[in-house]
Structure 1
Amino acid sequence: MKKIITGILLFTALISQAQELIYGITLGGNINEIYSNSALNSTIRNEAGTKKFKLYLGGFADYGFTENIGAKALIAFNQKTLAVGEVVDFGFLDISTSFKYSFGDNYSDGFYLLFGPRFSFLLNAEFDGEDVKDNFENSNIGLQLGAGTSIYEFLELELRLDYGLTALYDVLGNDRKIFCGILALNLNLEKLLNK
């Protein structure tokens, strides 16, 4: 019972110190690689990828529990083009929730770090104009590590590295996973509209 009361008091203290909800849109791009754990050895081997910078577009909500600690949720449409033998164009709906630590004087200003899971749902997969979605997993999970900084009063520049934990597809029993780098510009609509 003491643990429950302590937990409730701690949660109440965090909420009472909370900053306002921040929300906005994110626009950027990503570069992807496919990797696999080879059955012959345990090293990660780069399989294929593309040097094309593809669209990343969505919205975010960011809530500070204290002046430095908060959580950031993001939902985004994420295009990927990968060479999986042949070039395949993908569309994913990504949902990510991250723990956020801000180094600024205010929660929404300055440099910050992000860490958390990413859940992706395959919307489409096309090869040469044909639907090949059935050849791939409908969903996959990844882990994201990111950093960002305020570059203007209501703009942030953010970099996220995304390491796939589950397979997009497999070949001869070897899972093929995605490693992704995302560079995005976040527009803080709450700050812009309530200026």
Structure 2
Amino acid sequence: MKKTTLIIGITTLLMNFSVLAQNEPIEFGLKAGLNYSNLIIDDNIPAETNAKIGFHLGGFLSFKLTDNFRIKPELLFSTQNAEIEFSENINMGDPNDPVFGKRFKADIKQNLILLPIMADYYFSENFDLEFGPQFGFVINQDITDNNNDFSFGNDDYDKFEVALNVGAGFTFSENYRIGLRYNYGITERDNNKSSVLQFGLSYKL
């Protein structure tokens, strides 16, 4: 029920933007770039994480509300990866368990569909700041133990995420914009939150 309400709310919001911007041209384009992603884990879990490189690609719409203010929804495919290393021995309760008393690392690879809804304020024709929420859905997840001694489940995991984005962009020609954006997960998925730095290039069609 909550997921249905969220989808209806997002659709209504985008329709309202379309009405507000009906007297202005709606711009659209493509974007792609790199992710530097990590996980912020629960304090009760004895582990450390390391960031890894991924990528994102997709498209965007831009609704011009005033000369300086725009609303820009995006639809992106994103790969977000991290490495987790347990920093203390793990007692599974069974001395015969293969990971009893061992330390291990694991690679976490996730593919997501992201829907950021950004508010862009242009201080000039070239420079803008952006802020807004992001809704994410994990398509699939793969966790691989680097020591080959522990089996992780890759099917039972939290799939929905809400995050906040903040960033800045520089438009260096009529059609091209480079941007730097940070997104922070405000909802937990499997006792961790996402932390992703994105560098992207946008092309207005």
- TM (norm. structure 1) is 0.75
Map Cα deviations across residues 89-122 of structure 1 (whole Å, 9 max, x no partner).
1100000101111112xxxx31111111011100
* 1:90 equivalent in structure 2: 110
Give the Cα–Cα distance (whole angstroms) in 2 for the partners of residues 84 and 169 of structure 1: 13
Q: How does 1:64-103 map to 2 (within 5 A)?
A: 64-85=64-85, 86-103=106-123
Q: Which residue of 2 aligns with 1:3?
A: none
Q: Any idea what SS the aligned residue of 2:158 has? A: coil
Give the match for residue 145 of structure 1: 166
Quote the residue 2:33 is aligned against: 28
Aligned to 2:50: 49
SS of structure 2 residue aligned to 1:169: coil
Q: 2:175 pairs with 147, 154, 159, which one?
A: 154
Larger radius of gyration: 2
Over 3 Å counting, the alpha-carbon distance change for 1:125 and 1:112 in structure 2 is same
Secondary structure of residue in 2 paired with 1:38: coil
1:19 touches 1:67 (CA, 8 Å); kept in 2? no
CA distance, structure 2, for counterparts of residue 120 and residue 53 of structure 1: 18
The 1:63–1:81 alpha-carbon spacing in structure 2 relative to 1, beyond 3 Å, is: same
How big is the shift at 1:132? 4.2
Residue 94 (structure 2) aligns with: none
- State, as a whole percentage, how many aligned pairs show the same letter: 24
Superposition RMSD in Å:
2.7
Aligned with 1:23: secondary structure?
strand
Q: CA deviation at 1:133?
A: 3.9
**Greater strand content:** 1
Q: Counterparts of 1:28 and 1:80 in 2: how far apart (Å)?
A: 12
- Residue 186 (structure 1) aligned with residue 191 (structure 2): no
Equivalent-residue separation in structure 2 for 1:36 and 1:132 (angstroms): 18
1:33, 1:46 within 8 Å by CA — same for their partners in 2? no
Q: Which residue of 1 aligns with 2:61?
A: 61
Q: 1:84, CA displacement in angstroms?
A: 3.2
Please say if residues 34 and 46 of structure 1, whose CA atoms lie closer than 8 Å, have aligned partners that are also in contact. no
2:21/2:63 contact within 8 Å kept: no
**Paired letter, 2:177:** E
Question: Structure 1: which 5+ runs fail to align?
Answer: 1-10, 171-175, 190-195
Aligned to 1:165: 186
Distance across 1 between alignment mates of 2:112 and 2:49: 19
Give, as a single letter, the amino acid of the residue that structure 2 aligns with 1:66: T
- Cα deviation per residue 1:27-62 (whole Å; 9 max; x = unaligned)? 10111121135259xxxx994132x32111010001
Q: Does 1:117 align with 2:118?
A: no
* Matched residue count: 163
**1:53 alignment partner, SS class:** strand
Call closer, same or farther: CA 1:151–1:134 in 2, change over 3 Å.
same
Q: How many Å separate the matches in 2 of 1:38 and 1:62?
A: 39
